[in-house]
Amino acid sequence: MTVSATAARPANPERRFFLAMILAMEAAMLFGFARSVFLRPLFPDLATPPELYFYAVHGTLFFGWMSLLLVQALLVSARNTALHMRLGQIAYGLVPLMLVAGIYGSLVAARRPGGFFGVPVPPHQFLAVVLGDMAMFALFAGLALVFRRSDPQAHKRFILLASIVFMDPSIGRWPVAFVAENPMASFLLKCAFLIPMAGWDLTSRKRLHWATVLGAVVLIAEGLLRDPIGASPQWLAFADWATGLLG
């Protein structure tokens, strides 16, 4: 997560906007995972993955990304560009590790007899949702890396978009009746993070930034297509093959 020295000193409203977006995502993540991770001893009856892998590896990497995202935003606000750029190298080093960990964890959950916890969709079908999220994260994180110097504004938006992808599993765990009773709730609430991005573009630039438009198209298209794809015979055959790789 690196930006040029010029981009590290934006106007105060811009710093406040990006920091507020990150804080909102952090709050969504903490609210979703509080019972199953952070306050787990207080909710012993809550169904959680039995595999230690999801806490020791998978969770550590993904929470590490969100924590580093907040640190990076605070460094930009403090105008500590040098440390921000050094930590950016760690952030991009996390991306391939997160992809491997995410894909492996998805296959473990899809192969588990009970499937994905709290998800009524058949596990091989739901695998399309999880792997679709991983593909979007790879796309947005990769574009953030490509544009980190040539287009700092696009870089910052792609970093937000890569992190918004993770809001789906976080929101899906909210202890809220609307979320629990509506299969599309987590997707719709995840897409709601696009609204302040668009609002900021229109306020600060008088037009939508191309990165925001691209992110919205990809997020919405993936959300509308993942269920039909997951239910297709071709996908189910692929899911059978992929989960079979674990032995």
d(CA 152, CA 158): 10
pLDDT for residue 5 is more than 90: no
pLDDT-based confidence at 218, cuts 50/70/90? very high
Give the pLDDT confidence of 143-198 residue by residue, as tens digits.
Answer: 999 998 899 999 999 999 999 999 998 998 899 998 888 888 999 999 999 999 99
Query: What confidence tens digit (pLDDT) does each residue in 90-114 have?
Result: 888 899 999 999 999 999 999 998 8
pLDDT at 7: 43
Q: Looking at residue 1, what is its pLDDT? A: 52
